[in-house]
Structure 1
């Protein structure tokens, strides 16, 4: 059997929040590609993906085994902890749920397809629960990669709370998720999809704090993708410095409409290229069918 092509060779990881969007014809997969081939094509275009679906429901082990087989060499899945653990239990008495979650992800870890698994804490999980956070993180397997996203505003006090959680993450070599929704909120929404996105996405303060070796940046753009460029220009030299310092960042580009996420990723990559001229930063486009020749074409 012919081996699948590898994922793009980049000095960092770049991806989208999903791998299965029907609007990606020409961006990620060719026309008429069967749905069960979308993941394979995605992993030949990008080298990582957010796994947000696990926040809502766990896949079967058979599914993660299949995803391991379908993904390209070098690809990394970054799954989100289930909301039962992060929001319902708030990390307390969640040992059984955590064991089940990790068991489901084990086939991907065995296949070297597992990137940082990230714990997104809810807006109600504040510094008063620091002890629960510390106990939970200290109990996670040390040989897996982890990242934590904080949303309660008191974690961003530029004082004791922020310093304490940063020290905790640094001591455990756990990466901090850096979330930037400024592009989304820079102006009133242009359409209903953007309006709904502005109702749901948080406005947490933007940080550049690095606590591990793979800082994770999640940036929420606009459906008019060019409106995000000025924010990409702010992040590009930061990401370039991380790379030059020997880190391996993960960057995920979100759009209110998932159909625009790959275009945002390509725009970020082109802007980052200006900061890293020593690298060739490209991601492929899928082959498109040849246009049928007309009689005039033959003349």
Structure 2
């Protein structure tokens, strides 16, 4: 995500060699979603470059490959999972959580499969699950079944809050495109562990995005005051201003929790001059 075209020359310097792009992103945010690992497992050399560009306290939330979660649906996945874990080893503590996003067809009847999969995972990593089947949000028995399964292995439940996005009809090409692709997820805002992870989808209008995340400002501030370490990812339909909005969200939380460390200062996009 740190190579997003809309950021180049505007939020991060351009052109930049591949080995410097992530480093510039770390001036904006202290964590990143590793969504590309869902589509293809990177080389170990590539992951080593990520480690070299980031401090040990920078966080990657890396999505497991789709062959594991979608194609094989957590069955018979020892080989691709082992290969993935070997590749990300250079990240060390930067691999803040491994993100297990299961398909929308993964239903409460599949929770036993998830339980077996989670029990076999190595304890060297933290894990977080994102489900999209409506029953987990609308059926209290299904929700409790999933909560018990996750709690048994210290696994987090990642909510993807799209309620603000779907509250009004789309008004731009980017919003219309996202309208057909993004899931309409019921709101869920509980944490299961000391490191909750939230994904939030806003609108093109930054003020609408901010209005929609006010419940999360309250919740994240509360988590921090409880001693938890939450991660909050901000998305918009085209993600053009996502880093700016992420910093705005952080500032709003920090106004509630002054002890929260400030985010780093982004590197100048253009060289400084005397004129």
The size of the alignment, in residue pairs, is: 274
Partner of 2:71: 88
Where in structure 1 do 4 or more consecutive aligned residues deviate above 6 Å? none
Q: Which structure exhibits the higher relative contact order, with contacts defined as CA atoms closer than 8 Å and separated by 6 or more residues?
A: 1
Following superposition of structure 1 onto structure 2, how do residues 282-293 of structure 1 map, counting pairs within 5 Å? 282-287=263-268, 288-290=270-272, 293=275
CA distance in structure 2 between the partners assigned to 1:66 and 1:36 by the alignment: 7
Partner of 2:12: 29
Partner of 2:31: 48
CA distance in structure 1 between the partners assigned to 2:39 and 2:257 by the alignment: 38
Following superposition of structure 1 onto structure 2, how do residues 142-291 of structure 1 map, counting pairs within 5 Å? 142-287=123-268, 288-290=270-272
Q: Which structure 1 segments of 5+ residues have no match?
A: 1-17, 294-299
CA distance in structure 1 between the partners assigned to 2:261 and 2:126 by the alignment: 27
CA distance in structure 1 between the partners assigned to 2:260 and 2:69 by the alignment: 38
Following superposition of structure 1 onto structure 2, how do residues 111-150 of structure 1 map, counting pairs within 5 Å? 112-150=93-131
Partner of 1:12: none
Q: What root-mean-square deviation, in Å, do the aligned CA atoms of Structure 1 and Structure 2 show? A: 1.7
Cα deviation for residue 291 of structure 1 reads 5.0
Residue 147 of structure 1 aligns to a residue in which SS? strand
CA distance in structure 1 between the partners assigned to 2:260 and 2:187 by the alignment: 28
Q: Which structure 2 segments of 5+ residues have no match?
A: none
CA distance in structure 1 between the partners assigned to 2:27 and 2:265 by the alignment: 8
CA distance in structure 1 between the partners assigned to 2:139 and 2:80 by the alignment: 33
Residue 86 of structure 1 aligns to a residue in which SS? helix
Deviates more, 1:28-37 or 1:266-275: 28-37
Larger Cα-atom Rg: 1
8 Å CA contact 2:154–2:193 kept in 1: the answer is yes
